Structure 1
Amino acid sequence: MQQVLSERLLPRSRSTWLAEALLIMLAALFIAALAQLRIPLQPVPITGQTLAVLLVGMALGARRGALAVVAYLAMSVAGLPFFTGAQSGLAYMSGSTGGYLVGFVPAAALVGWLAEHGWDRTLGKTLLAMLLGNLVIYALGVSWLAVLLGGFLGPKGSLALGLVPFLLGDVLKALVAALLLPTAWMLINEQHALRR
């Protein structure tokens, strides 16, 4: 198993439970902030929410990444306006986007696990990890949507409504992440080499 970005910056040997909790809370706030980023494309706007979830998963690793997403969801359900569009509450969480929101937890854990195995070091592997993370989110989101609509749309209709409009935006966000993470590792490694 390899270090993830947060472990390189804050080695576990030096971290305390307080530092761990603070890191997780800062990551949850990062997700909340990027959830408010909105590019108004048609028919579906692109938000920064999934990008933040997957970046947090890869940067923190499986356990801490999933905990950061759980903290984000808990704060949002508790009433803080952290969901996209400054929404909050259990009603929003149990609505049409609920499956996607629930899917954030295993998606962050998956990409975090992949980062723990070195998938955040190269463009190709990072891109593949991001696409796999999105696949987890889509699987839960589209399934939830289909159940919520009582099977009214059928499988093709559920995919047309819950997957197709998001593909372009999520591919673009996966590319951004695939550029950011390996670049961050390169800069950290160069800085580390200069200190020697």
Structure 2
Amino acid sequence: MIEVIMSRKGILYDVLLILGGSLLTALSAQIAIPLPFSPVPITGQTFAVLLVGTLLGSRRGALAMLAYLGEGLLGLPVFAGGRGGLAVFMGPTAGYLWGFVAAAFLVGSLAERGWDRRIWSAAAAMFFGNGVIYLFGLPWLSYFLPGSLSQVLAL
């Protein structure tokens, strides 16, 4: 009986952490600087994704990002500019959004291996996580912008 209660508390704890991570990401998305030359604004999302992955670990961090995407897919205004809905997943920023899941998983995995214990290794983990976001985002964005992938990166 005690094990059942403890496991339920553990699940509730995990759910609250995952929802908290998705909420932090949603709030950070509202910090947005539109760029006149690109359909992708500078937002606080990237920082939140990397922080959530580091704090929650690989599984919970990735699940928090999946929850965040699910909230947006349901139409909640969780994305930059208060946007939500299926149209965002068809637009130029969708690749970055999917990259959030992989980046949170990677950074969380590196944190689980102790990369978050020193400033230089933590910075390296964040750098790699940011690279993963670009790895997903840039090819998708290139469908919406003219030019090569390197030109898209410049934008």
TM-score by length of 1: 0.69
Counting only pairs closer than 5 Å after superposition, residues 134-173 of structure 1 correspond to structure 2 as: 134-146=130-142, 148-149=143-144, 152-161=146-155
1:104 paired with 2:100, answer yes
Provide Cα deviations, 1:101-120, integer angstroms capped at 9, x if missing partner.
01000000000000000111
Counting only pairs closer than 5 Å after superposition, residues 14-93 of structure 1 correspond to structure 2 as: 15-39=9-33, 46-93=42-89
Structure 2: how far apart are the matches of 1:85 and 1:48? 12
Structure 1: how far apart are the matches of 2:75 and 2:36? 29
> Unaligned stretches of 5+ in structure 2?
1-5
State the percentage of identical aligned residues.
52
- Deviation of 1:155 (Å): 2.5
Question: CA 1:41–1:96 in 2, change beyond 3 Å: closer, same or farther?
Answer: closer
Point out the more displaced range, 31-40 or 102-111.
31-40
Backbone CA RMSD of aligned residues: 2.2
1:133 paired with 2:129, answer yes
Structure 2: how far apart are the matches of 1:48 and 1:96? 18
Secondary structure in 2 aligned to 1:153?
coil
Structure 1: how far apart are the matches of 2:55 and 2:117? 11
Point out the more displaced range, 51-60 or 19-28.
19-28
* Code of the aligned partner of 2:55: A
- Deviation of 1:33 (Å): 0.7
- Deviation of 1:88 (Å): 0.4
* Code of the aligned partner of 1:66: A
Q: 2:114 aligns with which of 118, 123, 143?
A: 118
Secondary structure in 2 aligned to 1:80?
coil
> Unaligned stretches of 5+ in structure 1?
1-11, 162-196
Question: CA 1:40–1:145 in 2, change beyond 3 Å: closer, same or farther?
Answer: closer
TM-score by length of 2: 0.87
Residue correspondences, number: 148
